[in-house]
Chain A
């Protein structure tokens, strides 16, 4: 088993990302910025209606419009459209303005079918069925036989329904790519993707050419969050348009409304939860009937029960189909929903019992889980940082005026872990330059930088000495960036490649230094003989003569791991007259094994928290039952936190020798999971009333207060 350096000089430090200045100065070209010579502008035609059969489609007028170079349709007369935003075809024209005009000139006649836009509509008796097999697809029930009995016998019984709506990814760089046919069977592609290899593969399949002939590049990209793993139908359309236009590059990116409608979304989650506990605070039973919608796709399930040990559990889940865009993986798929619903019930039953919700959680951690000791350390750190002991009060007892204060928390977990079949190449050149390459990509996570850090660590150089080239499908096979798997998949081969390159390099230059290779080592930009600096790195590299040292290596065992915990605490102020929530502070405690770059790691966790603040307070996809359209497919009424909405956020790594010894584990998903749960619990703690609908808007908070008042009256 390999191991990471015991006393690293770079690993674990705070190292600015290598591509940071290029991005921050506006000079870096994103895939959507690339305009190769002769670029034509593609615009996508998407369905304006939620559910319809196409009676006829006629693009002849559009084809004759000035500047229009190609039109490609993917739906024919007789075809069915299942949601607003579903792709119909695309146009390539000399300017974007002209392409838009042409798209509008394509005449489509629709036979409108009765839609279901919301889950309520889809589940209503007599609802139009939009799928073969019905709108509601019930999964297999999982039940412990004693659960009903255990629930009946519980000292405290919670019976509540919670729901969290669909949200969309809102990648700031929309989905898309620029495609150019270089000759009959070669394409060059600049794609905004989490998976350069996947884009090449998909296009190669669509056009029946070898994947090696599709050169996909993603030097940087503007956010994916799980929704950008392929070329997508619009990418294939761009390929056809380019072909029809004689190979000219065609740029095809979704507009903002299409990005909401068709670029992917995170399924909703609704749970009717019956939870039982003893009077001393032990969970005894949980019965959960849940549903969610992934639009016209499956995959709206989520883990439940979540984190805690429930001796008797029953779970049944239904996927509900609506005429909405297909769900796509989004940052920790399923977990934020499962966590929110579980943790809300946990807080509500703790309030019934009259137990401190922190103690209640500690009592109900799974006794034999490897995460339990990790959670205990994390809860201690988090509770201290938020001031739980001093500040926590039972529900509704904190604050005397109109402003009520509350604390809440949530726990989460993620599997993640790496693959072992990815490769990195490491090349040392006679001029002293060093290049690492792999066909993985940097979503803003810092992948490019950690590969350089690892290489520099081994070669005794600075991170900035390493040219870290990723995001190119022709490079050695790299990890698609999803599920927090990139760092644990790519760090071991980067380390291995650097080690092998180092050894090959030292063996090659040893004779010139009149030394044996095993006498040589590297540190601080020097080659050392028997521990004594002998010659600078640059001078040593010159001794390579005409030949570079280049090694392509795979993973070594023992350098990465999977499975993390984590917890978050929230402090909120709620104005009970207006229902406006103001966050004061969030504390996020996270383990993720060995941290390569503390600076970018902290940014990931911090960003994860904001990725949880948004669904906690602001964002939701609003579907209109009457028209079947999304009402807020923009960035104005689809609300996201801005600078003044950001509270103090404290990020605490569980960075202990034990954790470091686990090796590299990714951190993209876990820190976004429990934020919405912690905030909801802080809001409910503040106002003394459970709020069971996310987001915590003035509407939902005031409605909860009004309902409680009515219940009491």
Chain B
């Protein structure tokens, strides 16, 4: 880790003031940034520590909507009874992140804005995993990489487990910059980088994510995560679904996948397949199949197409209360 200047502001405004120069980075739980700094993948000259800024933390419900401060620890989200009862998609995804220690450290803002886990990126080959102008990912070990948008150069996957349920739930992110506040849909935090110099995050270097807000939810929602280990692991694929139902008929759907593309992946195909249908094993299966109809796996990760299909199906059937995979 390179040496850096450290600032520990006490308010969001001071944090934005302290960040106001190039080469500075906000430090929240540290579980992503400090690791990248140790590996010299990130070399900020100034670190602005925001985790002790009180107004940035906490879960607040009002009028059916819910706002979660960006520096709210994941453990606090997991322990929140309202979230557990009404936002199982978010609750489940958060509970599965990391380990007890990580959930005591990591924040929702940090989870949303963490950089990709792609092992080429983490080994110093940049966001696109290039060496001598060629993609190492495409001909290398891409078992954990993208199955969508693979015609492009960005083959990493968005690492956030929490972005998927938040997007499915229609959440918005509030950003504070030197010129004031702005609010955008959570999915607008992300973009597909076009070059190695691009970021996959749209947030400006001097902007601070202060909170996410989830509107009043009328329907049902669920997340299904597929991972290798039961103890600490990353999802290989995760699917979040938020449905509005009329009886058992689906009237609207938002289905988001994580682990399959450089951005949280909204599957309009799966949504189209399920809207207007009764929520059954067959329709869920069809939605899963639709979700991967445009998947283009890389050399090693065809299995992830299967996983994406199954994750969508199971997220939907979790909503239906038909957890067939848990039956003896």
Indicate whether A and B are direct neighbours in the complex (CB within 8 Å): yes
Please give the residue numbers on chain A whose beta carbons come within 8 Å of chain B beta carbons, in ascending order.
97, 100-101, 104, 401-403, 575, 577-580, 582, 617-618, 622-627, 629, 631-632, 636-637, 639, 641-645, 697-699, 702-703, 706
User: Which residues of B lie under 8 Å from residue A645 when comparing CB positions?
Assistant: 229-231
Is A626 within 8 A of B229, CB to CB?
no
User: Which residues of B lie under 8 Å from residue A617 when comparing CB positions?
Assistant: 228
Is B324 within 8 A of A402, CB to CB?
yes
Closest beta carbon of chain B to A365's beta carbon, Å: 35
Is B131 within 8 A of A627, CB to CB?
yes
User: Which residues of B lie under 8 Å from residue A625 when comparing CB positions?
Assistant: 139-141
User: Which residues of A lie under 8 Å from residue B1 when comparing CB positions?
Assistant: 97, 100
Is B230 within 8 A of A644, CB to CB?
yes
Is A639 within 8 A of B233, CB to CB?
yes
* B216 interface residue per 8 A CB criterion: no
19 contacts between A and B (CB under 8 A): A101-B2, A104-B40, A578-B307, A578-B310, A579-B306, A618-B229, A622-B141, A626-B134, A631-B123, A632-B119, A636-B232, A639-B229, A642-B99, A642-B231, A644-B230, A645-B229, A645-B231, A699-B143, A706-B306
> Count of chain B residues with Cβ under 8 Å from any Cβ of A?
37
Is B232 within 8 A of A642, CB to CB?
yes
Is B229 within 8 A of A642, CB to CB?
yes
Is A575 within 8 A of B143, CB to CB?
no
Closest partner residue, chain A, to B313 (CB atom): A577
Listed residue (B1, B3, B40, B307) with the most chain A CB atoms within 10 angstroms of its CB: B307
Closest beta carbon of chain B to A35's beta carbon, Å: 21
Is A698 within 8 A of B123, CB to CB?
no
Closest partner residue, chain A, to B229 (CB atom): A645
Is A403 within 8 A of B140, CB to CB?
no
Known A-B contacts A97-B3, A641-B229, A642-B229; the reply to A702 vs B303 at CB < 8 A is yes
Could you tell me the distance between the alpha carbons of A642 and B232 in the complex, rounded to whole angstroms? Answer: 7
User: Which residues of A lie under 8 Å from residue B123 when comparing CB positions?
Assistant: 624, 627, 629, 631
Is A637 within 8 A of B231, CB to CB?
no
* B5 interface residue per 8 A CB criterion: no
Chain B interface SS verdict (over half): loop
* B136 interface residue per 8 A CB criterion: yes
Closest beta carbon of chain B to A357's beta carbon, Å: 25
Is A577 within 8 A of B310, CB to CB?
yes
Could you tell me the distance between the alpha carbons of A644 and B232 in the complex, rounded to whole angstroms? Answer: 9
* B120 interface residue per 8 A CB criterion: yes
Closest partner residue, chain B, to A703 (CB atom): B303
Count, A-B residue pairs, CB within 8 A: 100
Interface residues of B in 137-165 (CB under 8 A from A): 139-141, 143
Known pairs A699-B300, A703-B303; list 9 more (Cβ under 8 Å).
A401-B324, A403-B327, A617-B228, A622-B141, A626-B139, A631-B123, A636-B117, A698-B226, A699-B303
Closest partner residue, chain A, to B224 (CB atom): A578
Could you tell me the distance between the alpha carbons of A637 and B233 in the complex, rounded to whole angstroms? Answer: 8
- One of B99, B120, B230, B236 near A631 (C-beta < 8 A): B120
Closest 8 CB pairs of A and B: A642-B231, A644-B230, A626-B136, A702-B303, A631-B119, A644-B231, A577-B310, A699-B303
Please give the residue numbers on chain B whose beta carbons come within 8 Å of chain A beta carbons, in ascending order.
1-3, 40, 99, 117, 119-120, 123, 125, 131, 134, 136, 139-141, 143, 226-233, 236, 300-303, 306-307, 310, 324-325, 327-328
Closest beta carbon of chain A to B291's beta carbon, Å: 14
User: Which residues of B lie under 8 Å from residue A101 when comparing CB positions?
Assistant: 2-3
Closest beta carbon of chain B to A696's beta carbon, Å: 10
Closest beta carbon of chain B to A191's beta carbon, Å: 26
Could you tell me the distance between the alpha carbons of A636 and B38 in the complex, rounded to whole angstroms? Answer: 15
User: Which residues of A lie under 8 Å from residue B143 when comparing CB positions?
Assistant: 699
Known A-B contacts A580-B228, A618-B228, A632-B119; the reply to A698 vs B3 at CB < 8 A is no
Closest partner residue, chain A, to B328 (CB atom): A403
- One of A618, A637, A642 near B119 (C-beta < 8 A): A637
Known A-B contacts A626-B134, A641-B231, A699-B300; the reply to A580 vs B324 at CB < 8 A is no
Could you tell me the distance between the alpha carbons of A624 and B135 in the complex, rounded to whole angstroms? Answer: 12
Could you tell me the distance between the alpha carbons of A632 and B300 in the complex, rounded to whole angstroms? Answer: 16
Could you tell me the distance between the alpha carbons of A645 and B328 in the complex, rounded to whole angstroms? Answer: 19
Is B228 within 8 A of A639, CB to CB?
yes
Is B136 within 8 A of A627, CB to CB?
yes
Is B327 within 8 A of A401, CB to CB?
yes
Closest beta carbon of chain B to A143's beta carbon, Å: 36
Closest partner residue, chain B, to A255 (CB atom): B38
Could you tell me the distance between the alpha carbons of A692 and B74 in the complex, rounded to whole angstroms? Answer: 39
Closest beta carbon of chain A to B66's beta carbon, Å: 29
Listed residue (A402, A578, A699) with the most chain B CB atoms within 10 angstroms of its CB: A578
Could you tell me the distance between the alpha carbons of A402 and B285 in the complex, rounded to whole angstroms? Answer: 14
Is A579 within 8 A of B303, CB to CB?
yes
Could you tell me the distance between the alpha carbons of A371 and B17 in the complex, rounded to whole angstroms? Answer: 75
Could you tell me the distance between the alpha carbons of A698 and B227 in the complex, rounded to whole angstroms? Answer: 8
Known A-B contacts A401-B325, A637-B119, A699-B143; the reply to A624 vs B136 at CB < 8 A is yes
Listed residue (A104, A577, A629) with the most chain B CB atoms within 10 angstroms of its CB: A577
Known A-B contacts A97-B3, A401-B325, A579-B303; the reply to A627 vs B125 at CB < 8 A is yes
User: Which residues of A lie under 8 Å from residue B303 when comparing CB positions?
Assistant: 579, 698-699, 702-703, 706
Is B140 within 8 A of A626, CB to CB?
yes
Is A622 within 8 A of B119, CB to CB?
yes
User: Which residues of A lie under 8 Å from residue B119 when comparing CB positions?
Assistant: 622, 631-632, 637
User: Which residues of A lie under 8 Å from residue B125 when comparing CB positions?
Assistant: 627
Could you tell me the distance between the alpha carbons of A629 and B141 in the complex, rounded to whole angstroms? Answer: 11
Closest beta carbon of chain A to B196's beta carbon, Å: 15
Could you tell me the distance between the alpha carbons of A575 and B324 in the complex, rounded to whole angstroms? Answer: 11
User: Which residues of B lie under 8 Å from residue A579 when comparing CB positions?
Assistant: 303, 306-307
- One of A403, A624, A639, A641 near B141 (C-beta < 8 A): A624
Could you tell me the distance between the alpha carbons of A625 and B135 in the complex, rounded to whole angstroms? Answer: 12
Closest partner residue, chain A, to B327 (CB atom): A401
Could you tell me the distance between the alpha carbons of A618 and B140 in the complex, rounded to whole angstroms? Answer: 20
User: Which residues of A lie under 8 Å from residue B302 when comparing CB positions?
Assistant: 703, 706
Closest beta carbon of chain A to B299's beta carbon, Å: 11
Known A-B contacts A580-B228, A624-B136; the reply to A402 vs B300 at CB < 8 A is no
Closest beta carbon of chain A to B137's beta carbon, Å: 9
User: Which residues of B lie under 8 Å from residue A698 when comparing CB positions?
Assistant: 226, 228, 236, 303, 307
Could you tell me the distance between the alpha carbons of A403 and B231 in the complex, rounded to whole angstroms? Answer: 20
User: Which residues of A lie under 8 Å from residue B2 when comparing CB positions?
Assistant: 101
User: Which residues of B lie under 8 Å from residue A403 when comparing CB positions?
Assistant: 325, 327-328
User: Which residues of B lie under 8 Å from residue A104 when comparing CB positions?
Assistant: 40
Closest beta carbon of chain B to A517's beta carbon, Å: 59
Could you tell me the distance between the alpha carbons of A357 and B194 in the complex, rounded to whole angstroms? Answer: 55
Is A577 within 8 A of B229, CB to CB?
no
Is A580 within 8 A of B226, CB to CB?
yes
Is A643 within 8 A of B231, CB to CB?
yes
User: Which residues of B lie under 8 Å from residue A637 when comparing CB positions?
Assistant: 117, 119
Closest partner residue, chain B, to A257 (CB atom): B39
Is A577 within 8 A of B325, CB to CB?
yes
Could you tell me the distance between the alpha carbons of A644 and B3 in the complex, rounded to whole angstroms? Answer: 38
User: Which residues of B lie under 8 Å from residue A582 when comparing CB positions?
Assistant: 230
Closest beta carbon of chain A to B178's beta carbon, Å: 32
User: Which residues of A lie under 8 Å from residue B236 when comparing CB positions?
Assistant: 698
User: Which residues of A lie under 8 Å from residue B226 when comparing CB positions?
Assistant: 578, 580, 698
Is A624 within 8 A of B140, CB to CB?
yes
User: Which residues of B lie under 8 Å from residue A100 when comparing CB positions?
Assistant: 1
Could you tell me the distance between the alpha carbons of A579 and B325 in the complex, rounded to whole angstroms? Answer: 12
Could you tell me the distance between the alpha carbons of A625 and B306 in the complex, rounded to whole angstroms? Answer: 26
Is B301 within 8 A of A699, CB to CB?
yes
User: Which residues of A lie under 8 Å from residue B232 when comparing CB positions?
Assistant: 636, 642
Could you tell me the distance between the alpha carbons of A697 and B324 in the complex, rounded to whole angstroms? Answer: 22
Could you tell me the distance between the alpha carbons of A698 and B306 in the complex, rounded to whole angstroms? Answer: 10
Listed residue (B3, B120, B228) with the most chain A CB atoms within 10 angstroms of its CB: B228
Known A-B contacts A401-B324, A626-B131; the reply to A697 vs B141 at CB < 8 A is no
Could you tell me the distance between the alpha carbons of A275 and B224 in the complex, rounded to whole angstroms? Answer: 43
Closest beta carbon of chain A to B208's beta carbon, Å: 27
Closest beta carbon of chain A to B116's beta carbon, Å: 12
Could you tell me the distance between the alpha carbons of A636 and B114 in the complex, rounded to whole angstroms? Answer: 15
Closest partner residue, chain B, to A646 (CB atom): B231
Closest beta carbon of chain B to A333's beta carbon, Å: 27
